Structure 1
Amino acid sequence: MMPRDRVAAIGCLLLLASMVATGCTAPSPRHSPSAASPTVGASVPASDTAWWRASPDVATLATGLAAPWSVVPLEGGGALISQRDDGTVRELTGDGRLRTVGAVPGVVSGGESGLHGLALLDTDGSTMLYAYFGSADDNRVVRMPLRGAAGSYELGEPDVVLDGIPKAANHDGGRIAFGPDGYLYVTTGDAGRPQAAQERDALGGKILRMTPDGDPAPGNPWSTRVWSMGHRNVQGIAWTADGTMWASEFGQNTWDELNRIEPGANYGWPVVEGVAQRDEYVDPVAQWPTSEASPSGLAAVGATLFLASLRGERLWQVDTAEGAATGEPVAAFVGEFGRLRDVVAVPDRSLWVLTNNTDGRGEPGPTDDLLLRVQLTPSP
């Protein structure tokens, strides 16, 4: 990660964000359980207005992971996990074994780059695994047939969905998820070129919205793949049960952000960071000093968002109502498990959380990362 001047903790600032209707009508996939998948979150029996909290009931599901980045729950209780630095996809089987499914061809890791987000899509009786990764020259999204059965999955040959996304040693974005509209959402970083975030036709510093084949999705604001712009480095996206889209975003020197995502909106980077109260940019719904967050994965259950924090080493819990944050964000597990990379909601009313303590800066380290299960309870 690029060195950043960190400020002392000064608390969380919340602002209201306006409501917007996207009007998307494409059919949803049967399941698309990526780190921020609305399908997984919607499977949890929670109403649009229900709020939730992480309980102290934490179990370890897997150990010995090396720089894991994304976890995808599977039907039947297993999961697929991406490992950033070696480019492998690991399978946690239903009986608790950890095995290697395969290496994604073409992954070239270094710094923050490597194998990032995963998402699944079932179509016509087959299952495709989508993956975002850094190649020798760019970041790209590919899809591969997921062959076999639970406990013996294998990867088929990759097909490029989108290439040409700018790559650098840092700010590579990397989260992918199928939204409730059935389209593929992809987050990209500015790749060390901040002004790209303000260039509407550039792929860097954006959230993209595409068909499963990689074409611009119908209804996009500029008839391109770009859904929103002015982002520095989004690494988490999620939809609350009311359909509202949210994103967690790395700041630079001062503020990390939670944003409500609106089509065609500009979130200000690099002109502004955090709340600016300028009409041409959308302010974050919540912001944190960078020492308290450095956010990555994002999950939603009911009307509560769960934000995994790297440098902050905690799980932020943000309740929402009518498209805005309500009350103060609540931190859980501060310093208990180290850096938290990803969080997903699963149907048994729990969260699965990936730690990321293996290296943190792209350096070799022990395989000491975990997949944790966190039980949820209704918020009082």
Structure 2
Amino acid sequence: MTYRGPLALLTALALTAAGCGSAAGAPEPAGPVATILAPSAVSGTPDLDAPQVMAEGLDVPWGLGFLPDGDALIGERNSGRILRLTPGAGQPREVFQVPGVTPAGEGGLLGLAVSPDFARDNLVYVYFTAENDNRISRFRLDTGNLEVVFDGITKGTYHNGGRIAFGPDGMLYAGVGDAQNTATSQDPDSVNGKILRLTPDGQPAPGNPTPGSPVFSLGHRNVQGLAWDSAGRMFAAEFGQDELDEVNLIEAGHNYGWPDIEGEGDTHGGRYTNPLVTWKVADASPSGIAINGATAYVAALRGQRLWTLPLNGATVGEPVAHLHERYGRLRTVQIAADGALWATTSNTDGIGNPSDGDDRILRFPAR
């Protein structure tokens, strides 16, 4: 069943988040968890001095996920193709073409997430821009039958969000942009400018801050990175506008301030939650985020670098920049089961300056 329509039930959430600095507690875990790889389960640390080019000549690779056998699935934003890459087997091969993808501006085939129960259900989830909206669909990799699970997300030329990921609770999380309408981020009747928490079937997840609502947090501009540490804490990377990009610790029901605040500096009596770390937009424009042990890796587009953040529980240490201008714009990062860090470049997206071989899939093996 597809979730549709305005979110009248979000009024209580908005009032709660607006009226105090604290919010509802974290939802109770639900759903399958056994097959989700915890960051603490991987071994080693990615060696950023030992890059391997796994594939090249791709068309804006955006979504990236791993199958249980170690193969990678890659989604191309503009073509709508899903590619399967077997390490050591050369260039990836097309395994599915997502029907109905309508690329324009920053829209197209965006996030990709492999079902945590893939060995049983063979399902892959995708977030993409269709003719009239952004939507989340899923398909069986063995049959290719596409099913819409959540639609009606307002699309825009920019700020479509698009990152999807399964959390340690087995629920599907989605970063949704404001679609260039800043008012939606604080609007209780809009799913835009939010992080959503859904069941694998696309329904509002049990334990959400407002029962029957898909919204987990609000006050976002354009979240394109979602990751969890080994304790189950959720971190998100978010684009700022003119001044400051952010990494936030995401908590159920919290309001992260957009459009009233960009970066730190809540002057609204504790109404909003401040970010853990900020950068000047020229140094970051953060997209993907991945966590391995006590380190978060943040891919920067405009900044053309990879940021590492030391994690200390719910706080972070001083960010360190790596790979500055070595590969151009970095879009997505993921940690594989063997501890390697995979990254996609985004130089063919109409903003970057592609060089021979772009766009690429990079792998930094664990040491």
- In the other structure, the counterpart of 2:4 is none
TM-superposition CA deviations, 1:139-169 (whole Å, max 9, x none): 000010110xxxxxxx512111100001011
TM-score by length of structure 2 reads 0.88
Contact in 2 for aligned 1:175/1:187 (Cα 8 Å):
yes
Match of 1:218 in 2: 206
Amino acid at match of 2:73: L
C-alpha distance in structure 2 between counterparts of 1:141 and 1:218, whole Å: 19
After superposition, residues 292-371 of structure 1 pair within 5 angstroms as 292-326=283-317, 328-361=318-351, 368-371=358-361
User: Structure 2: which amino acid aligns with 1:28?
Assistant: P
Gaps of 5+ in 1: 1-16, 33-38, 47-51, 148-154
SS in structure 1 opposite 2:49?
Answer: strand
Structure 2 match to 1:196: 184
The 8 Å contact of residues 162 and 214 in structure 1, kept in 2 or not, is answered as yes
Measure the CA separation in 2 of the matches of 1:218 and 1:41.
Answer: 24
* Equivalent position amino acid for 1:344 in 2: Q
1:179 and 2:167 aligned: yes
CA contact (8 A) 1:299 1:345 kept: yes
Pairwise CA distance, 1:63? 1.1
1:28 equivalent to 2:23? Answer no
Given the alignment, which residue of 94, 103, 110 partners 2:97?
Answer: 103
Over 3 Å counting, the alpha-carbon distance change for 1:21 and 1:351 in structure 2 is: farther
- Once the two structures are TM-superposed, the CA of residue 75 in structure 1 deviates from its matched residue by 2.5
Report the counterpart of residue 156 of structure 1 in structure 2: 144
Task: Identify the match of residue 289 of structure 1 among 280, 283, 308.
Answer: 280
Question: In the aligned structure 2, how far is the partner of 1:358 from the partner of 1:144?
Answer: 27
CA distance in 1, matches of 2:62, 2:224: 10
Q: Compute the displacement of 1:321 (Å).
A: 1.1
One-letter code of the match for 2:328? Answer: G
Matches of 1:308 and 1:21, distance apart in 2: 30
How many angstroms apart in 2 are the aligned matches of 1:287 and 1:363?
26
Pick the structure with more strand per residue.
1
Q: Counterpart of 2:291 in 1: which secondary structure? A: strand
CA contact (8 A) 1:308 1:343 kept: yes
Q: How many residue pairs get matched?
A: 342
C-alpha distance in 2 between matches for 1:133 and 1:364: 24
TM-score (norm 1): 0.85
Whether 1:58 and 2:51 are equivalent positions in the alignment is yes
Contact 1:138-1:166 at 8 Å conserved across structures? yes
Residue of 72, 76, 89 corresponding to 1:83: 76
Q: Looking at both structures, which has the greater relative contact order when contacts are Cα pairs under 8 Å and sequence separation is at least 6?
A: 1
Which one-letter code corresponds to 1:25 in the other structure? P
Amino acid at match of 1:185: Y
Distance 1:296 1:214 in 2: 24
